[in-house]
């Protein structure tokens, strides 16, 4: 296979299984290039319906990848990402509907606001050494407070949210006749975040995060400042999540609390990364392919409301039981082991 | 300003009543945390399971009174908890934290989605004739079903505590909480002790739901707000401390009711989660000491 030729991603020392993120020395460029080419050409083949699935796929993969930065690489289980996603959406929609500011500019502001909130929340959480389950509970608590506040805010439309008026399509206002434009925006974002994670997997910053994830005490004894590194990862992750909220709200032409805020949204963001494999470059994308695929299949059988959510939960439970590290690392290691035997 | 005082006193009464039920939920959550070392995100969904169980027994052809239904209900919920532990949770007891949290999140989603599939996403309630009647004390009042829930929840929480304190099973659970390996060495079976702990916690949590069913409108996702209250009560009462969780539950109920009276009903969840954040930051060890014992 082409893939085998072009790749040299086996660990340098056979027998030592490093996480896929660390062992990935070479990149299967040709293989990835073919996928990228297929993704770019997809809109010419797929219809409107196919495009919608493509958008769902890319945007859930993107969100999971952004969460992966703080949870997968730094090992901090944030449940506030639903809130950061919502902040991005609310910022751009509010700026546009209120002052007519382009969603592209609103998107930048959304990312900055989201980053600033993460900086505040992270600074407090890490200052008071909230790790593990305590960090998860603190971020959950924060996200729920933000949801309540937005849900009650008159400026932000309370429970029914804000609606974007349909206008003459154009790039400046991020409204299009054809969903393929949104597809391309998400595709660009997805490729961008793959490079961010590639950088994380091989930069000193990424290694410091991995050290903290494995053992904060050991990392600290090696001269790493866990508080600073975790905060940077958290802020970076929040800045990355928010723009997806802005673009997705333009795609839907509205923003409201149930779709953009709360625990259910946070779980949906996290899921692809957990299923595909946290702390890896391709894990979130592969997880999204599996999850969106299953949900699409189920939607054709249109059984009962709740069935796709049920399948989501079952995949989550089964992936913990059967592939606790996620699909991608499990497959990757199996493949490396086979190669090593030969 | 007589009106104002009664207005606030009424909030205190309402808060106390809710707090009793939160206490029962928090007591079982803190037990699961203390003994299984598991943060159970599915705990709120177990309350919802209890609510729908009550509804189902009530709407069955023979129609069991929701309070009588507690007897078969507790047994059913105990069995459900046992099966959940032995079938699923036991496999992740030694897994890393991220995996455990993921797992209980998955359990939460599965439970809620199952309830949506079975009972649909319409608001429902157990309607008992005459139960809406109020009991008045001068200017203050309390609805009959709330008072029953309060008393029954505290009685159940008390029984729970007494069971842990005075029975062999309870001693075994405390031992397993303090040192699982040493407990196993002196002949306390690990698996069945943990299964019993989770089962009894499920029964208590579900019972709280059954007590709430006559006056709280249920839908499959109603458990989220109880999850918050239970987290808050657990953190306030020091994780693993039963009596602490009891006090914490009542404090959360009071804070929620006073907050709602002050700012409006929409904001009450913000007060509960605000208490969680403040406690985690200012006093992560909780209001009580004695972390080890149950």
Nearest to A310 among B103, B105, B113 (CB): B113
**In this predicted structure, what is the pLDDT of residue B207?**
94
**Chain B residues in contact with A67 (beta carbon < 8 A):** none
Mean pLDDT value of segment A176-183: 83
Q: What is the CATH number of the domain that holds B72?
A: 1.10.3470
Tell me: pLDDT of A25 over 70: no
Question: For A165, which DSSP code?
Answer: P
Tell me: pLDDT of B272 over 70: yes
Question: Which chain B residue has the Cα nearest residue A263?
Answer: B224
Q: Does residue B191 sit within a domain?
A: yes
Kindly give the residue spans of alpha helices, DSSP state H, lying in chain B: 2-31, 43-59, 70-87, 97-119, 144-166, 168-178, 180-185, 190-212, 223-236, 242-263, 268-282
Per-residue CA distances from A252 to A29, A66, A240, A300 (Å)? 34, 21, 20, 22
Nearest to B99 among A136, A267, A320 (CB): A320
**In this predicted structure, what is the pLDDT of residue A22?**
43
Residue range A262-287, pLDDT digits in tens: 888 888 898 888 888 888 888 899 88
Contact status of B110 with chain A (Cβ, < 8 Å): yes
Tell me: pLDDT of A234 over 60: yes
Across A41-62, b (16+ Cβ under 10 Å) vs e yields eebeebeeeebbbbbbbbbbbb
**In this predicted structure, what is the pLDDT of residue A108?**
93
**In this predicted structure, what is the pLDDT of residue A328?**
83
Tell me: pLDDT of B22 over 60: yes
Domain range holding B108?
2-282
Tell me: pLDDT of B76 over 60: yes
Looking at CA atoms only, how far is residue B67 from chain A in angstroms? Answer: 30
**In this predicted structure, what is the pLDDT of residue B210?**
93
Rounded Cα distance, A145 and A52, in Å: 32
Contact status of B102 with chain A (Cβ, < 8 Å): yes
> pLDDT class for A119, splitting at 50, 70, 90?
very high
Subunit contact A306:B270, Cβ cutoff 8 A: no
Mean pLDDT value of segment B58-67: 83
Mutate to test the interface with A, among B30, B99, B106 (most CBs of A within 10 A): B106
**In this predicted structure, what is the pLDDT of residue A240?**
94
Rounded Cα distance, A245 and A55, in Å: 13
Subunit contact A144:B267, Cβ cutoff 8 A: no
Contact status of B159 with chain A (Cβ, < 8 Å): no
B172 Cβ partners below 8 Å, 6+ apart?
A: B183, B188, B193
The SS3 assignment for B136 reads: strand
Contact status of B278 with chain A (Cβ, < 8 Å): no
**In this predicted structure, what is the pLDDT of residue A37?**
80
Residue appearing with tokens 């809620």? B112
Rounded Cα distance, B20 and B14, in Å: 10
> Rounded to 5 degrees, what are φ and ψ at A107?
-60, -45
Q: Does residue B294 sit within a domain?
A: no
As a residue count, chain B comes to 294
Question: Which chain B residue has the Cα nearest residue A125?
Answer: B281
Nearest to B120 among A128, A267, A305 (CB): A305
Question: How large a percentage of chain B has pLDDT more than 70?
Answer: 94
**In this predicted structure, what is the pLDDT of residue A2?**
37
Diameter of chain B by CA atoms?
65
More confident residue, A29 or A10: A29
CA dihedral B227, B230, B232, B238 (to 10 degrees): -140
Q: Does residue B288 sit within a domain?
A: no
* DSSP one-letter string for B242-281: HHHHHHHHHHHHHHHHHHHHHH-GGGHHHHHHHHHHHHHH
Tell me: pLDDT of A19 over 50: no
Instruction: Give the pairing type, strands B134-137 and A254-255.
Output: unpaired
Tell me: pLDDT of A152 over 80: yes
Contact status of B132 with chain A (Cβ, < 8 Å): no
Subunit contact B228:A321, Cβ cutoff 8 A: no
Rounded Cα distance, A52 and A179, in Å: 7
Average pLDDT over chain B, rounded to whole? 85
Per-residue CA distances from B238 to A129, A136, A313, B158, B292 (Å)? 17, 17, 30, 18, 10
As a residue count, chain A comes to 342
> pLDDT class for A160, splitting at 50, 70, 90?
confident
Question: How large a percentage of chain A has pLDDT more than 70?
Answer: 90
Tell me: pLDDT of A4 over 50: no
**In this predicted structure, what is the pLDDT of residue B1?**
45
Q: What are the structural domains of chain A? A: 47-341 (1.10.3470)
Nearest Cα neighbor of A91 from A115, A67, A69 is A115
Rounded Cα distance, B61 and B146, in Å: 26
More confident residue, A142 or A178: A142
> pLDDT class for B276, splitting at 50, 70, 90?
confident
Give me the helix-helix angle, B242-263 and B144-166, nearest 10°: 160
Rounded Cα distance, A23 and A273, in Å: 19
**In this predicted structure, what is the pLDDT of residue B53?**
93
- What angle is formed at CA A125 by the lines to CA A120 and CA A129, rounded to 5 degrees? 145
**In this predicted structure, what is the pLDDT of residue A342?**
66
Tell me: pLDDT of A16 over 90: no
Mean pLDDT value of segment B272-291: 75
Q: Does residue B287 sit within a domain?
A: no
Whether ipTM > 0.85 holds is: no
Subunit contact B281:A141, Cβ cutoff 8 A: no
Mean pLDDT value of segment A45-58: 84
Looking at CA atoms only, how far is residue B239 from chain A in angstroms? Answer: 11
Residue range B183-218, pLDDT digits in tens: 888 888 888 899 999 999 999 999 999 999 988 889
**In this predicted structure, what is the pLDDT of residue A91?**
93
Q: Across the A/B interface, how many CB contacts are shorter than 8 Å?
A: 129
Residue range A289-335, pLDDT digits in tens: 988 888 888 777 766 677 778 888 888 888 888 887 788 888 888 88
Number of domains in chain B: 1
**In this predicted structure, what is the pLDDT of residue A49?**
80
Mean pLDDT value of segment B17-40: 90
Residue appearing with tokens 């506040």? A149
């Amino acid at each position: 296979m082409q893939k085998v030729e072009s790749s040299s991603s086996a660990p340098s020392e056979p027998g030592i299984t490093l996480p896929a993120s660390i062992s990935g020395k070479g990149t299967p460029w040709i293989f990835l290039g073919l996928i990228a080419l297929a993704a770019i050409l997809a809109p010419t083949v797929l219809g409107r319906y196919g495009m919608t699935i493509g958008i769902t796929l890319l945007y859930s993969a993107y969100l999971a990848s952004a969460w992966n930065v703080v949870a997968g690489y730094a090992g901090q289980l944030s449940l506030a990402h639903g809130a950061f996603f919502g902040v991005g959406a609310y910022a751009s929609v509010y700026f546009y509907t209120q002052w007519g500011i382009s969603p592209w500019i609103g998107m930048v502001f959304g990312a900055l606001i989201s980053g600033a909130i993460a900086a505040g929340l992270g600074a407090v959480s890490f200052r008071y050494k909230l790790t593990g389950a305590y960090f998860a509970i603190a971020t959950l608590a924060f996200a729920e407070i933000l949801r309540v506040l937005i849900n009650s805010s008159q400026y932000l439309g309370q429970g029914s949210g804000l609606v974007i008026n349909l206008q003459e399509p154009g790039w400046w206002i991020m409204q299009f006749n054809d969903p393929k434009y949104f597809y391309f925006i998400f595709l660009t974002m997805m490729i961008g975040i793959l490079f961010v994670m590639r950088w994380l997997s091989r930069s000193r910053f990424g290694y410091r995060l991995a050290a903290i994830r494995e053992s904060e005490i050991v990392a600290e004894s090696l001269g790493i400042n866990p508080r600073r590194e975790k905060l940077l990862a958290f802020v970076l992750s929040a800045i990355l999540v928010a723009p997806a909220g802005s673009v997705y709200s333009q795609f839907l032409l509205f923003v409201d609390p149930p779709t953009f805020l709360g625990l259910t949204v946070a779980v949906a963001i996290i899921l692809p990364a957990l299923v595909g494999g946290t702390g890896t470059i391709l894990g979130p994308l592969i997880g999204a392919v599996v999850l969106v695929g299953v949900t699409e299949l189920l939607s054709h059988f249109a059984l009962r409301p709740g069935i796709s959510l049920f399948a989501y939960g079952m995949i989550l439970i089964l992936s913990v039981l059967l592939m606790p590290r996620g699909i991608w690392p499990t497959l990757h290691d199996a493949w490396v082991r086979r190669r090593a035997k030969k | 300003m007589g009106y104002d005082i009664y207005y606030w006193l009424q909030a205190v009464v309402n808060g106390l009543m809710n707090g009793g039920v939160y206490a029962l939920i928090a007591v079982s959550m803190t037990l699961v945390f203390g003994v299984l070392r598991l943060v159970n995100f599915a705990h709120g969904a177990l309350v919802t399971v209890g609510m729908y169980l009550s509804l189902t027994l009530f709407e069955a052809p023979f129609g069991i009174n929701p309070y009588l239904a507690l007897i078969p209900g507790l047994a059913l919920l105990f069995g459900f908890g046992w099966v959940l532990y032995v079938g699923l949770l036991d496999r992740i007891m030694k897994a890393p934290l991220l995996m455990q949290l993921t797992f209980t999140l998955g359990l939460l989603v599965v439970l809620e989605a199952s309830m949506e599939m079975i009972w649909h996403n319409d608001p429902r309630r157990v309607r008992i004739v005459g139960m809406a009647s109020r009991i008045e004390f001068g200017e203050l009042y309390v609805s009959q079903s709330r008072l029953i829930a309060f008393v029954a929840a505290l009685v159940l929480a008390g029984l729970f505590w007494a069971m842990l304190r005075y029975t062999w099973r309870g001693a075994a659970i405390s031992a397993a909480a303090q040192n699982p390996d040493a407990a196993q060495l002196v002949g306390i079976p690990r698996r069945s002790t943990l299964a019993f702990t989770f089962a009894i916690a499920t029964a208590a949590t579900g019972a709280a739901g059954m007590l709430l069913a006559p006056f709280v409108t249920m839908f499959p996702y109603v458990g989220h707000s109880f999850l918050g209250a239970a987290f808050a009560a657990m953190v306030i009462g020091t994780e693993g401390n039963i009596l602490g969780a009891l006090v914490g539950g009542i404090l959360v109920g009071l804070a929620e009711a006073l907050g709602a009276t002050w700012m409006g009903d929409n904001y009450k969840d913000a007060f509960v989660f605000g208490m969680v954040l403040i406690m985690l930051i200012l006093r992560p060890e909780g209001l009580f000491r004695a972390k080890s014992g149950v």
